[in-house]
Amino acid sequence: MIVFDLVCRHCGHIFEAWFASVESFDQQKERGLLECPICGNTEIDKRLTAKVRNKKIKRPETEPTKQRHVAIPSATTDMIARLRQIVSNTENVGERFPEEARKMHYHETPLRPIRGQAAQNDIEALAEEGIDIDILPDFLFHDLN
């Protein structure tokens, strides 16, 4: 997992996003899947970040090696696993998300779990129509097509 600071070319908003890898960021950017949460623009750039190279240092055998760990409560990891399971059972409708959500809300198509992308103005319009949606972090989708 990698975190980048991203910046919107349109409004200059800076926001953070999580990706499975640098390649995952590049693929999502190429496919136009990244968008500014403020204005919905998809022209997003990665801000410069400092790269730290960790060279192997020979240490005396008596010196213990320190490792960094991230401590996450097991309840949190359980919740993330449940969310990923739910997400994996959704249909990816891509950019048709607002349209498909409306069709289900107005009983034009059967209810089913869907996922996809929507611009901020589309999310606001759905909310105004009384259509409830949840916005989940990208890392829940990193290995789904």
What's the confidence (pLDDT) of residue 24? 85
pLDDT tens digits, residue range 13-60? 888 888 888 888 889 888 888 888 888 888 898 876 544 444 454 555
Other CB atoms within 10 Å distance of the CB of residue 65: 6
Long-range CB pairs of 141-144 (<8 Å, 24+ gap) are: 141/87, 141/115, 142/19, 142/20, 142/24, 143/20, 144/87, 144/88, 144/92
pLDDT digits (tens, 9 = 90+) for 70-94: 566 677 777 778 888 888 888 999 9
To the question of pTM greater than 0.85 for the whole model, the response is no
